[in-house]
Amino acid sequence: MSHTRTPASPTTGPPLSRRRRWAGLAVLSASLLVVVMDMTILNLALPSITRDLEPGSVELLWMVDAYPLALAGLLVTASVLADRWGRRRMLMAGFAVFALASLGALVVTGPLGLIAVRALLGVGGAMIMPTTLSLVRTLFTDPRERATALGVWGSTAAVGAALGPIAGGVLLEHWSWPAAFLVNVPVMALALVAAALLLPESRSADPGVLDPASVALSVLGMVGFVYAVKQLAEDGLEALPLAALLIALALLVLFARRNLVLAHPMLEVRLLGQRSFSAGVLTALVTSIAMAALFLLVSQWLQLVQGWSPLRSGLALLPAAVTGVLAGPFAPAVAARTGARAVLVGGLVSGGLGFTLIGLLPQPLPYAGVAAGLGLVGLGTASLAVASAVIMSAAPTDHVGSAAAIEESSYELGAVLGVAVLGSLAAAVYRAGLPAGGLDTLSPADAAAARESVGGAAEVAARSGPDGAGLLATAQEAFTEALAATGLAGGVLMLVAALVVARLAPRDLDVSAGH
């Protein structure tokens, strides 16, 4: 099956100066940082939003899910459009959409308005995230310089997840919840101006065809998969989310099969057949799974068990951000000396050891030990920096949009699976840690709330006066055990992934070669 099309030509121009290349990278990294932080910043703002807008349980769920659903569903389509229309144009359009959506927080008066704002932010994020990666790949033509630039990009993506709660804590300490959205506006305005001045336009000489059937299959498959996994985590093995998951997987398989037979596929699925490319994608996926669960659970432990404020809790996550900032930019240089495989595997091992440390610490968990585990996890994000370089160097220049879409999809799916799978494990261990008959004195509604989460137990305990102290202590102990169990599970996952990546990645893998 084939489609007729008019080939696009890449925009050409004089080589950019070294200063302009690195200034352009700063613009791309800063915009990526804002988008990634926006994924986690809402977690701290939710209590304030709930008090102000009074959403129902379904509305609250959609407030959280609208952003990742829109983002995941449109990644592939946005990448193809950018390859054809122009990557800088797509990026600047994404900046504008993200800024306008953030301004929308000023006029939100109810839950539906905030859901719309979050969905529009997801649209802007889908336009920005893969395009920044494609532009890094085309901005730096020297392979060694490009490996370093991709390392900076990869570490920015990893560190953003840790900085989100910190930024959220600072904003909520001094302002109301709309500040968590409005802070995006000046950043995106500056990024628009800087992109116009610093970034060259680029297109693919061999762009994928915007095939309507592929668009429908990719959007419905990705959105359905993310939705189903989240619902299974919330409701357990219910018939509706299970059916949605099977349908979503079938749609994604059909999308892959269709793009394997198209003469000019929308997404170059064949890239996954390269062992080095698959090793990079697996590293990104597993690291995202582990980190999403870790930051969610440790943030809750700090606030609901340790009793720390949102700001102090955010700052307590700094060890992961600091070691990630220090390790990421140097990872490509280390890979040039030791080989990329050693850094990919070493990063996964470091992250696995960090998780395992949290799982093996004595009870009650000491923060110093948790901080050490976070530091090892942050150090392990060096593998993400090299994974980006491995993925993009394995892709021909005309297929960087496809490579970027696959990498970004691995981040998104990893975040969803981390919260759903490891989060569900934590919830099961938490409920098992509550005494069988210890909630019999509560009303059915209060008992259900206490079993649902440690946050629910804290609310019930606060309403119960002096009698609630025992319930709160028991719930906090059960949640601490759940965090430890999740640490062990995350550690095993990352160490197993390290073994698989060691077998997948060639011994002489060189990220400074590329196409």
> How does pLDDT run across 396-452, given as a tens digit for each residue?
776 777 888 888 888 878 877 887 788 888 888 888 888 766 676 777 777 777 777
Does 1 score more than 80 pLDDT? no
Single-letter code of the amino acid located at 136 = V
H helical segments located in 262-339: 275-300, 310-316, 318-327, 331-338
Residue with tokens 């939705």: 227
Residues, the chain: 515
**Ramachandran sector of residue 108 (left: φ over 0; alpha: ψ -120 to 50; beta: rest):** beta
Measure Cα distances from 325 to 124, 346, 381, 464 in Å: 26, 17, 9, 45
Contacts of 321 (CB under 8 A, 6+ apart): 159, 162, 163, 166, 378
456 pLDDT tier (thresholds 50, 70, 90): confident
Poorest-confidence range of 67-71, 149-153, 434-438?
A: 434-438
Poorest-confidence range of 146-150, 197-201, 395-399, 414-418?
A: 395-399
Average pLDDT in the 376-386 region? 84
For position 361, what pLDDT does the model report? Answer: 92
- Asked if residue 48 lies in contact with residue 177, where contact means CB atoms within 8 angstroms, the answer is yes
Specify burial of residue 364 (Cβ count, 10 A radius: 0-12, 13-18, 19+). exposed
Greater confidence, 210 or 277?
277
pLDDT in tens, 71-104: 878 888 888 888 888 889 999 999 999 999 999 8
Tell me the pTM: 0.81
| Cα–Cα distance measured from residue 100 to residue 120, given in angstroms and rounded to the nearest whole number | 9
Give the mean pLDDT of the chain.
Answer: 81
For position 438, what pLDDT does the model report? Answer: 63
Which of 111, 102, 109, 115 lies closest to 31 in space, CA to CA? 102
Instruction: Give 18-208+267-431+481-504's CATH code, choosing from 3.40.50.2300, 1.10.10.10, 1.20.1250.20, 1.10.3720.10.
Output: 1.20.1250.20
Single-letter code of the amino acid located at 205 = A
Residue with tokens 């698959």: 278
For position 209, what pLDDT does the model report? Answer: 67
For position 11, what pLDDT does the model report? Answer: 45
Does 121 score more than 80 pLDDT? yes
Tell how far CA 256 is from the center of its chain: 23
For position 247, what pLDDT does the model report? Answer: 94
DSSP track, 320-352: HHHHHHHHTTTHHHHHHHH-HHHHHHHHHHHHH
Which of 485, 506, 380 lies closest to 422 in space, CA to CA? 485
Angle at 56 between CA 53 and CA 57, to 5 degrees: 125
| Cα–Cα distance measured from residue 154 to residue 280, given in angstroms and rounded to the nearest whole number | 11
For position 8, what pLDDT does the model report? Answer: 39
For position 48, what pLDDT does the model report? Answer: 72
For position 257, what pLDDT does the model report? Answer: 92
For position 467, what pLDDT does the model report? Answer: 66
4 pLDDT tier (thresholds 50, 70, 90): very low
Report cis status (omega within 30 of 0) of the bond before 14.
no
| Cα–Cα distance measured from residue 462 to residue 454, given in angstroms and rounded to the nearest whole number | 12
Average pLDDT in the 282-296 region? 86
Specify burial of residue 445 (Cβ count, 10 A radius: 0-12, 13-18, 19+). exposed
| Cα–Cα distance measured from residue 124 to residue 109, given in angstroms and rounded to the nearest whole number | 22
- Asked if residue 358 lies in contact with residue 297, where contact means CB atoms within 8 angstroms, the answer is no
Contacts of 213 (CB under 8 A, 6+ apart): 258
Does 385 score more than 80 pLDDT? no
Report cis status (omega within 30 of 0) of the bond before 444.
no
513 pLDDT tier (thresholds 50, 70, 90): low
Greater confidence, 61 or 149?
149
pLDDT in tens, 229-271: 877 876 677 888 899 899 999 999 999 999 888 877 888 888 8
Eight-class DSSP state of 231: H
Does 13 score more than 70 pLDDT? no
For position 322, what pLDDT does the model report? Answer: 83
- Asked if residue 18 lies in contact with residue 146, where contact means CB atoms within 8 angstroms, the answer is no
Residue with tokens 């703002």: 45
For position 158, what pLDDT does the model report? Answer: 67
- Asked if residue 255 lies in contact with residue 217, where contact means CB atoms within 8 angstroms, the answer is yes
| Cα–Cα distance measured from residue 503 to residue 500, given in angstroms and rounded to the nearest whole number | 5
- Asked if residue 275 lies in contact with residue 508, where contact means CB atoms within 8 angstroms, the answer is no
Give the rounded percent of residues in the chain with a pLDDT score beyond 90.
Answer: 18
Poorest-confidence range of 301-305, 371-375, 508-512?
A: 508-512
Greater confidence, 360 or 10?
360
For position 64, what pLDDT does the model report? Answer: 73
| Cα–Cα distance measured from residue 378 to residue 442, given in angstroms and rounded to the nearest whole number | 42
| Cα–Cα distance measured from residue 326 to residue 337, given in angstroms and rounded to the nearest whole number | 18
For position 497, what pLDDT does the model report? Answer: 95
Which of 123, 141, 152, 119 lies closest to 28 in space, CA to CA? 152
Token pair in block for residue 157:
């993506």
Residue 359 phi/psi, 5-degree rounding, is -70, -25
Greater confidence, 39 or 126?
126
- The SS3 of residue 419 is helix
